[in-house]
Structure 1
Amino acid sequence: MIRHRTIGIVIGALILLIAGCTDNAANDEKKAETYIEGHRYNVLSREGLLNQYVLTREKLYGSGLESAMNMQTWGVQLVPPDAYIGKEITEYGFTVNGHPLEATYRANIQLVVLMSEGKVIGGTSFPVNEGEEMRIGAPYSVEGRTLEEVTGLSYKEWVANWNSRYGPPAEPKDQNLREDEIVTVELLCHQGLPNPGCVDWQSVEPEPINAFIEAVKSAERMAGQLNYMAQYDLNLIYRNQTTKRYHIALGTDRTMNGLLVDLENTSQGYSIPAEQANKLRALVAGPK
């Protein structure tokens, strides 16, 4: 009898747990519906729980379908995803009318409401596919605004900012700079492009060498694909006569950052802070 009673208690606990989860889901769906009604849209049907996942940084970038959908979904939210990384996200679907997109697509609209920890985050809208017509594309915001309208950026600008913020960590500019072994630093005027007033420069003194090392170490990764003009070829020459090579542009404007490009990856640029860039400008220009 004791054994049967124990089994009964376990089964009862499971039933209560399932009932509790069901109640939570029902409560969340009701909150999502209330959110939609607050926008004065008419709910025609409920599609229930569409998706459930734990948000990770890996879900916010990449070339896969899931990451692309997550990028587009979170791109039209008024809140960034940062606060929800590591938390469970649920998505509830509804078909509505009275939505601004109806006039454009002449169709009912599917609204997907995003929730986390029982609270509404936001959502997306997209015309319902009806008949033989198949619509594909990026979702709109709940109000029917495009990503460009929500962010104020072009799509290209938004992608660059997004990848800079949520993409994989940048590879180090140099995994083993071997600072103590650098014996010469030289700047050679970059060939092939107009470069008026450029003069080659070289030093074997510790202070100038350290200034260039600090500039390389302080340079910060720039977002997006790089399109640039090199002013100098920068060579850090080691005691064993091997060379670490960069492109560098300093210009003369002391308010501007410098540009550094590791020749092992010329599609990625790094910004040298103006303070460090000015030290290099002073060295190259020489005493006045």
Structure 2
Amino acid sequence: MVLSGCQNAFGYINARWIHEISLTYHQLDQQTEQQAANVEPKSISDAALIKTVAEAMNKSKRIQGELDYAPDFIMKLVYGDGYTEEYALGLGKEKGHNGLLVASVNSGKGYSIPAKHADKLRDMIYGAASADGE
């Protein structure tokens, strides 16, 4: 018997299976080019940080209706066997707001990341200390 308690359509993300997460700033136009210069691409391999990302993804809930969004980052999950999944991640820098997660394979379905978890991701990405321990 298979039990599924997932509330999102992309399924449960098991942090133990993820080898690395890469985040690349998503540039849409010249206006965001300056912002991109302030955010270096990140490669996250620390187990605690991967668990934080997986938890945020697993707590996300489907957003109904059509999406009109501009992601901040392209996030790629790299599993231990080399399999990859790509997502668009929208966070903004202001704390207290929900984040947005969209699987690249189905860009018409979005998922809201609760503010509590989105704030943890913001701290990882924009915080003073490097998220990958460098």
TM-score range, shorter chain: 0.7 to 0.9
What residue is the counterpart of 1:251 in the other structure?
A: 92
| TM-score using structure 2 length | 0.79
Q: Counterpart amino acid of 1:187?
A: L
TM-score norm. by structure 1 comes to: 0.39
- After superposition, residues 84-95 of structure 1 pair within 5 angstroms as none
For 1:287 and 1:171, the matched residues in 2 are separated by 33
Q: Which runs of 5+ in 1 are unaligned?
A: 1-169
1:188/1:234 contact within 8 Å kept: yes
Counterpart of 1:188, as a letter, is T
| Aligned residues of 2:67 and 2:109 also touching (Cα < 8 A) | yes
Partner of 1:175: 11
**Which residue number corresponds to residue 191 of structure 1?**
27
Aligned counterpart in structure 2 of residue 209 of structure 1, from 47, 50, 61: 50
Return the match for 1:277 from 108, 118, 130: 118
Aligned counterparts, 1:29-48, within 5 A:
none
Question: Cα offset for 1:171?
Answer: 8.1
The 1-side partners of 2:89 and 2:115 are apart by 13
- Structure 2 CA distance, aligned partners of 1:278 and 1:173? 23
Matched, 1:231 2:69: no
Q: What is the CA–CA distance in structure 2 between the aligned matches of 1:184 and 1:246, rounded to whole Å?
A: 14
Q: Which has the higher helix share?
A: 1
Question: Which sections of structure 2, spanning at least 5 residues, go unmatched?
Answer: 1-5, 130-134
**Whose RCO is larger (CA < 8 A, sep 6+)?**
2
Q: Are residue 219 (structure 1) and residue 57 (structure 2) matched?
A: no
Higher Rg = 1
Note if contact 2:12-2:58 (Cα within 8 Å) is conserved in structure 1.
no
The match for 2:109 is: 268
- What's the RMSD between the two structures over aligned residues? 2.0
% identical aligned pairs: 29
